[in-house]
Amino acid sequence: MPRTRTSHASTNAPRRHRSARPRLALVGVAVVAPTLWFALPAAAAVAPIGLGTASSFSVLAGAGITNTGPTTMWGDAGTFATTSESGFGTVTILGTNHGGDAVTQQAKNDLTTAYNQAAASAPPTNVADELGGLTLTPGVYDGAALQLTGTLTLDTLGDPNAVFVFRTGSTLITASSSDVIVLGGGVACNVFWQVPSSATLGTASHLIGTVMASTSITANTGATIVGRLLASTGAVTLDSNTLTNTGCADSTMSTTTSTASPTTAPPTTAAAVPTSSTTPTGSSTPTTTPGDITQGERPPLAFTGPGRSVPFAVTAGVSLFVGTAALRIRRHRLRAAGSPGSA
């Protein structure tokens, strides 16, 4: 017997055919950015300062050289226009004492050229007068009155030809036991201090680089210098110091502080500068001081320091995926009462 259907609607109501299910599909999309290689804006390379004939001198003065106590100079000495030298009975010179001869006079002229070149070096970065506690990369650094208390670290970024130029508006003063160290394989001949007045190095301090002072330079008791003390018009005053002018060709230091004792006699010409592996007969054996240029582990690079310009790679991968979504429109059929709905 046929089953009777009841409905609120007429049984003759037209049937609505199931419409096609419209779907809105967002197909999965993958967007991947390519690998990007770029470098931080790099400062223009700083040219080394050309010292000319002054490069062979450990001490060069304009108004005489005064010494107290045992001092050792690995390099030449000279003074002009004032040619007086006092206290040299306790000075060991591993080079030539030119006094005020023609070599000294030419070196003084070359010093003037080098001083002016350093003054014109660019681009400069302004730094606080106190250099202690800083780690700096190659560049030109300006301060009103530079001073050093504690340790200044120079990071060459692995470049053996890295150049550092420090320019003070007035004086350069280093405190007792202050220190300069180099990371990444350093060369003392490419560190320069341009001083328009006087420079004073503290007791038992350690300085790396060539000091070019317009007037005078004073190295207090026990100060050690890997580089040169070059005074244009004033005097150079020494007190039981060790000055090591190795020259650029052999100033790259090893991974450990050298304590090798020199054995050869002092050179007899100004051009011949003894290496760190030789020592004169009859002189005390100079030993390196903690803080001499060493090559150590480089610290993690911080891209916030002045002059920092290290190329680096950044891989930027952006992956975006939007899953498939479907929008269904449900059809409501008007059927007779009691008919099941469908989805």
- Give the integer Cα–Cα distance in Å for 234 and 82: 9
Q: pLDDT-derived band of residue 10, with 50, 70 and 90 as boundaries?
A: very low
> Partners of 207 in the beta sheet?
225
- Give the integer Cα–Cα distance in Å for 141 and 166: 5
For residue 244, how many other CB atoms are within 10 A of its CB? 25
**Higher pLDDT, residue 265 or 248:** 248
Q: pLDDT-derived band of residue 282, with 50, 70 and 90 as boundaries?
A: very low
pLDDT of residue 45: 74
Mean pLDDT for the stretch of residues 31-50: 52
Weakest-pLDDT range from 65-79, 162-176, 266-280: 266-280
- Give the integer Cα–Cα distance in Å for 31 and 98: 73
- Give the integer Cα–Cα distance in Å for 68 and 139: 36
- Give the integer Cα–Cα distance in Å for 182 and 47: 19
The CA R_g of the chain, rounded to the nearest whole Å, is 37
Long-range CB contact pairs, 287-291, < 8 A, 24+: 287/259, 288/257, 288/258, 288/259, 289/206, 289/224, 289/242, 290/179, 290/206, 290/257, 291/151, 291/179, 291/180, 291/181, 291/206
Mean pLDDT for the stretch of residues 293-318: 33
Mean pLDDT for the stretch of residues 3-31: 43
Quote the mean pLDDT of the chain: 72
**Cα–Cα nearest to 62, from 75, 80, 89, 41:** 80
- Give the integer Cα–Cα distance in Å for 178 and 24: 73
Q: pLDDT tens digit string along 44-64?
A: 578 899 999 999 999 999 999
- Give the integer Cα–Cα distance in Å for 56 and 54: 6
Q: pLDDT tens digit string along 107-149?
A: 999 999 999 999 999 999 999 999 999 999 999 999 999 999 9
Mean pLDDT for the stretch of residues 138-164: 96
Alpha-carbon distance values, 262 to 77, 79, 199, 252, 280 (Å):
20, 27, 30, 17, 7
Weakest-pLDDT range from 22-31, 79-88, 95-104, 237-246: 22-31
Q: pLDDT tens digit string along 197-229?
A: 999 999 999 999 999 999 999 999 999 999 999
Q: What are phi and psi of 148, to 5 degrees?
A: -135, 120
